[in-house]
Amino acid sequence: MQIGCLGDIIFRANSDVVGTAHNITWSGSVRFSEHQRHLNNALTEFAGLNADRFSFDMTLMSELGLDVMSVLVKIWGYERSWEPLTLVFGDKAYGKHRWTIESHRIKMRYFDCVGNLSVAEVSISLVEYVAF
pLDDT in tens, 38-82: 999 999 999 999 999 999 998 888 877 788 999 999 999 999 999
pTM of this structure: 0.82
123: left (phi over 0), alpha (psi -120 to 50) or beta: beta
**Residue 72, SS3 per DSSP:** helix
Domain 2-129: give its CATH code. Answer: 2.40.30.200
> What's the mean pLDDT in 103-123?
92
The band of 9, judged by pLDDT with boundaries at 50, 70 and 90, is: confident
pLDDT of residue 63: 78
- Angle at the Cα of 106 (from 57 to 76), degrees rounded to 5? 95
